[in-house]
């Protein structure tokens, strides 16, 4: 397929490279010229603008930081809706508010452009290894049409509902991940504050009902206070605001999510925004006078 790829950052560059490797023709654009250079080095074509990237595309993929970037690239003057051919399929794989995904789909319908929201989980490692989880909202036929592309970099690819549903599932993912980090941090602070070896204690937790993937992957680095990212506090802060916005939209009350969002905001305010989200432990240490 001819693919226009906008947003060649940490995630977008390896995803676009997988598409090239799978035999697709990829025209990529990013506001940062070096990012476009990386796609060229991987065998893609460097586009000079959004319009240039999407002109001949069957499918356009956007992988941008947040909803204002998606609004600019998709809805703005000279953006995807202005310049893509009628019938083009747009898969927005950025993590953004569900309500923006729905607004984009509604605006696109008027231009005869089909849209999927398809955020991912799995991080930079998942993007590089081609093992991302992809949660997709939109029409079933469009999901089927985009699936061959998603298979180039995804291992778990699931159609979860109509427009916006992919973003809702991603928000649910992020609130659970944030909550588990907060509680594992509290477990460490409790054990250390009680004179109990936290590493040994977490080994026991990891074998019982409290077992979870974060304990498996991160307990050693958390106990050792190694917080190099990974997934940065700054991005998780953005994702918690998406979860709270989605809750407001759905008119549901998520008190734990609100609390975790405040703890992540505190981590950021303490200057830890560039650290891995496991650095939530530092907030609990600060609250306990153990920083
Ligand atoms: P990133 O900041 O590395 O990449 C975003 C890219 O978009 C940048 O290269 C930036 O220059 C480009 N961009 C911004 N505005 C643009 C515009 N107007 N036109 C063209 N390009 C523009 O971010 P990332 O880590 O690749 O994340 C992208 C999305 O994926 C985010 O929504 C993030 O939350 C989500 N995500 C990230 C991870 C992760 O581990 N990094 C994991 C899952 C999901």
Residue nearest to atom 25 of ligand 1 (CA): 10
What pLDDT shows up at residue 172? Answer: 98
- The residues carrying an active-site annotation are 170
DSSP string of the chain? -EEEEE--STTHHHHHHHHHHTT-EEEEE-SSHHHHHHHHHTT-EE-SSHHHHHTT-SEEEE--SSHHHHIIIIISTTSHHHHSPTT-EEEE-S---HHHHHHHHHHHHHTT-EEEE--EESHHHHHHHT-EEEEEES-HHHHHHHHHHHTTTEEEEEEEESTTHHHHHHHHHHHHHHHHHHHHHHHHHHHHHTT--HHHHHHHHTTSTT--HHHHHHHHHHHTT----SSBHHHHHHHHHHHHHHHHHHT---HHHHHHHHHHHHHHHTT-TTSBGGGHHHHHHHHTT--
**CA-based diameter of the chain, in Å?**
66
Residue nearest to atom 31 of ligand 1 (CA): 65
pTM: 0.95
Mutate to test the pocket of ligand 1, among 5, 6, 7 (most ligand atoms within 8 A of CB): 7
Q: Find the 192 Cα to ligand 1 centroid distance in Å.
A: 37
Binding-site residues, ligand 1, Cβ < 6 A: 6-12, 29-32, 35, 63-65, 69, 72-73, 94-95, 120-121, 123-124, 231, 235
Is residue 26 within 8 A of residue 6, CB to CB? The reply is no
What pLDDT shows up at residue 230? Answer: 82
What pLDDT shows up at residue 175? Answer: 98
What pLDDT shows up at residue 123? Answer: 87
Q: Which atom of ligand 1 is nearest to the CA of 13?
A: 26
Mutate to test the pocket of ligand 1, among 11, 94, 233 (most ligand atoms within 8 A of CB): 11
Is residue 127 within 8 A of residue 15, CB to CB? The reply is yes
Q: Find the 266 Cα to ligand 1 centroid distance in Å.
A: 23
What pLDDT shows up at residue 219? Answer: 97
Report helix angle 165-193 to 213-223, nearest 10. 50
What pLDDT shows up at residue 161? Answer: 98
Write b or e for each residue in 159-187: b if 16 or more Cβ atoms lie within 10 A of its Cβ, otherwise e: bbeebbbbbbbbbbbbbbbbbbbbbbbbb
Can you give the pLDDT of all 291 residues of the chain as single tens digits? 999 999 999 999 999 999 999 999 999 999 999 999 999 999 999 999 999 999 999 999 999 999 999 999 999 999 999 999 999 999 999 999 999 999 999 999 999 999 999 999 998 889 999 999 999 999 999 999 999 999 999 999 999 999 999 999 999 999 999 999 999 999 999 999 999 999 999 999 999 999 999 999 999 999 999 999 888 999 999 999 999 999 999 999 999 999 999 999 999 999 999 999 999 999 999 999 998
């Amino acid at each position: 397929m001819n693919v226009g790829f906008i947003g060649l950052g940490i995630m977008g560059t390896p995803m676009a490279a997988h598409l090239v490797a799978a035999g697709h023709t990829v025209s990529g654009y990013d506001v940062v010229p070096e990012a476009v250079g990386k796609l060229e080095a991987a065998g893609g074509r460097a586009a000079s603008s959004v319009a240039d990237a999407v002109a001949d595309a069957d499918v356009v993929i956007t992988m941008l930081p947040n909803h204002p970037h998606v609004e600019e690239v998709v809805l703005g003057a000279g953006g995807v809706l202005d310049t893509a051919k009628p019938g083009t399929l747009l898969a927005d794989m950025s993590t953004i508010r569900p309500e923006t995904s729905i607004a984009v789909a509604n605006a696109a319908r008027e231009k005869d452009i089909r849209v999927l929201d398809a955020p991912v989980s799995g991080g930079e490692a998942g993007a590089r290894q081609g093992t991302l989880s992809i949660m997709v909202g939109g029409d079933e036929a469009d999901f089927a049409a985009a699936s061959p592309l998603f298979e180039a970099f995804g291992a778990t690819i699931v159609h979860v509902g109509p427009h916006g549903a992919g973003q809702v599932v991603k928000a649910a993912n992020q609130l659970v991940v944030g909550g588990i980090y907060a509680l594992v941090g509290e477990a460490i602070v409790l054990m250390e504050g009680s004179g109990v070896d936290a590493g040994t204690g977490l080994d026991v937790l990891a074998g019982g009902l409290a077992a979870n993937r974060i304990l498996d992957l991160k307990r050693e680095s958390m106990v050792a206070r190694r917080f190099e990212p990974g997934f940065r506090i700054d991005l998780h802060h953005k994702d918690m605001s998406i979860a709270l916005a989605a809750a407001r939209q759905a008119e549901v009350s998520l008190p734990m999510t609100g609390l975790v969002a405040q703890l992540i905001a505190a981590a950021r305010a303490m200057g830890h925004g560039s650290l891995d989200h496991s650095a939530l432990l530092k907030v609990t240490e600060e609250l306990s006078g153990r920083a």
